[in-house]
Amino acid sequence: MNLALQFLANGLVTGAFYALSALGLTLIFGLMRVVNFAHGEFFMLGGVLGWVATAVLGLDFATAFVLVVAAMGVLGWLVDRFMIERVRGHGEESTILLTIGLSIFLANATLYLAGPAPMKVPAPLTGKPLFLGPVVLTKSRLAAVAVSVVLVLGAYLVIHRTRIGRAMRATFQDAMAAKLSGIRTERIFAATFALGTMLAASAGMLLASIYSAQASVGGLVSLKAFVVVILGGMGSFPGAIAGGLILGLSEAFWGGYVSTGTVDIVGFVMVILILLFRPRGLFSLNAQRA
């Protein structure tokens, strides 16, 4: 029983991290419909740059975080304006090939410059773990969960309650109509891609302070983020949270009771089932309309 509670706590924490890691992809793939295979590398770069800023340059975590996220925003903007923009409207294959190419480049450039060793970002919070009854949790994990919640909520509010958020949704649903209303769609595309890149990098740096950053981690992060986005329903932030928690919990219990070696299969089996039976995501009201 105690073990089950610990699995539950671990699953919720991992699930919150999955939701956070997938947030940028919810925006870029879910809403903007760019199949972005470089998502995991943006996440990875957030961690590696965070390590450079803190462990190498000696900045404090908060300053480093702001700088890294800003730099990644610029990178995202440039990638959209100079790469994605050229293939926009030419079908998904071009975008997929482009972002796969970009991901290979980013991963190997990082491997070349920083090497394959794990890079640990010093955690902003230290101290004894908390004991909640039989459950053990570290403060930095709880803080990271809190930051995840804030970022998810913030992204949701931006998309649904602000002028630029409405312009984003309009642009992705019908770019021509958006142009005719005076929206400069090319800026909206670039801003959304930049925002998604910043969210991916935030997640990468936060999680690099709990686990560690590694040049080769991008592929797995991308795949799991796609799992979360598809589980939750394309472009839905509440869905992404639910998708993250479901994935985190299933993996925690599968790893705890069945076998740890096969944990990574769980998500993919779920995605296959979802795509077969509820192609618009677990929580869509109209699963038929795919």
Binding residues (CB under 8 A) for other proteins: these are 163, 166-167, 169-170, 173-174, 176-184
Q: How far apart are CA 66 and CA 252, in angstroms?
A: 32
The distance of Cα 278 from the centroid of its chain, to the nearest Å, equals 22
Q: How far apart are CA 189 and CA 84, in angstroms?
A: 9
Q: How far apart are CA 246 and CA 231, in angstroms?
A: 9
CB of 204 to other proteins, least distance (A): 30
Which residue, 161, 155, 154, 186, is CA-closest to 171? 186
Q: Would the CA dihedral through 44, 127, 142, 74 be positive or negative?
A: negative
Q: How far apart are CA 237 and CA 19, in angstroms?
A: 9
Residue number with CB closer to other proteins (276 or 285): 285
- AA letter at 281: G
Residue number with CB closer to other proteins (39 or 280): 280
CB of 177 to other proteins, least distance (A): 4
CB of 234 to other proteins, least distance (A): 11
Which residue, 232, 197, 207, 229, is CA-closest to 102? 197
Residue number with CB closer to other proteins (52 or 167): 167
The distance of Cα 177 from the centroid of its chain, to the nearest Å, equals 29
| Two structure tokens written together for 206 | 């936060």
Label residue 28 exposed, middle or buried (CB < 10 Å: 0-12, 13-18, 19+): buried
Residue number with CB closer to other proteins (63 or 181): 181
Residue number with CB closer to other proteins (32 or 221): 32
Residue number with CB closer to other proteins (6 or 284): 284
CB of 188 to other proteins, least distance (A): 11
CB of 176 to other proteins, least distance (A): 6
CB of 163 to other proteins, least distance (A): 8
The answer to whether 242 and 231 are in contact (CB under 8 A) is: yes
Residue number with CB closer to other proteins (97 or 160): 160
Residue number with CB closer to other proteins (141 or 280): 280
| Two structure tokens written together for 65 | 């975080």
CB of 34 to other proteins, least distance (A): 17
| Two structure tokens written together for 216 | 């080769």
CB of 173 to other proteins, least distance (A): 4
3-state helix, strand, coil in the chain (%, to 5): 75, 5, 20
